[in-house]
Amino acid sequence: MRVFNRFKLLAFLTAISFVIGTTSCGDSDKKGPGAGAGGSVVPLGAAAGCAILAGSTVTNTGPTVITGGDVCLSPGSSVTGFLAIDAGPGVVTAPGVFHITDATAAQAQSDLTTAYNDLAGRAGGASLPGDISGLTFTPGIYKNASSVGLLSSAGAVTLNGLGDPDAVFIFQIGSSLTTATSSQVILSGGTQAKNVFWQVGSSATLGTSSTFNGNIVALTSITLTNGATLNGRALARNGAVSLDTNPVNVP
């Protein structure tokens, strides 16, 4: 009986060791080089209802189509280039509406300021190079105190969620964000655009016919040049959002 119990104890301890080892490996595999403290989703508050949010003006040229969100502006009052405003070519699909210098837009701007400060203040993370063309990122925080660009259309940026649909990506960019003509930011491994945040210390410009994923949260302005596709939100605190024949899809 004593021998039998010893074998049972050995088998039990072996099973426990296997479970602990498997769990530890699974956790570590999901942490990319930028993972760590601050990897939770950033609440956008009322700004989450806006596909476009600007501080000064919203302008559009060409048949832009905005799907899944509103066009919001505060404290500015000038929105141009949309069918519902001045018979322009841009449309906001139902149930999206315009909030121009109203209480909803003001609350969205207030909540955007909170979200921007939250994003900019997240500690830790990995260094983000000035040119991110062709790179693959795993969930976490990445930072560059200066400008960042996707400067080549030859190499797409890939955001790999490692199989986790709740994976969060935060890019802290001290100055400007620019993307090249026909460049791409693509999602893989379960990554969802709603969980990707690009905090920009000045302004962002998406290149002609480029494809971009995630929420752009900029201090100043955001420009989508001709044919650029945004799967996410263009949220500008102080400046303008400029559009030109763009599909904008809120995730």
Distance CA 75, CA 55 (A): 6
pLDDT of 159 above 80: yes
pLDDT of residue 35: 44
Q: Which of 232, 37, 18 is nearest to 140 (CA)?
A: 37
pLDDT of residue 115: 98
Q: Which residue has the higher pLDDT, 20 or 148?
A: 148
Tens of pLDDT, residue by residue over 49-108, are 999 999 999 999 999 999 999 999 999 999 999 999 999 999 999 999 999 999 999 999
Distance CA 117, CA 151 (A): 27
Distance CA 224, CA 244 (A): 6
Distance CA 27, CA 21 (A): 10
Distance CA 193, CA 215 (A): 7
Residues 6+ apart with CB under 8 A from 19: none
Residue 141 bridge partners (DSSP): 170
The one-character DSSP state at 163 is: T
pLDDT of residue 41: 83
Distance CA 236, CA 84 (A): 22
Tens of pLDDT, residue by residue over 194-241, are 999 999 999 999 999 999 999 999 999 999 999 999 999 999 999 999
Distance CA 187, CA 13 (A): 41
Write phi, then psi, for 67 (nearest 5 degrees).
-125, 130
Write phi, then psi, for 16 (nearest 5 degrees).
-60, -45
Domain ranges of the chain: 1-30, 45-249
Residue 238 to residues 47, 56, 112, 207, 217: CA-CA distances in angstroms?
14, 6, 11, 21, 11
Residue 170 bridge partners (DSSP): 141, 197
Distance CA 130, CA 151 (A): 9
Cβ pair 190, 207 in contact under 8 A: no
User: What global pTM score does this model have?
Assistant: 0.85
Residues 6+ apart with CB under 8 A from 229: 210, 211, 212, 246, 247, 248, 249
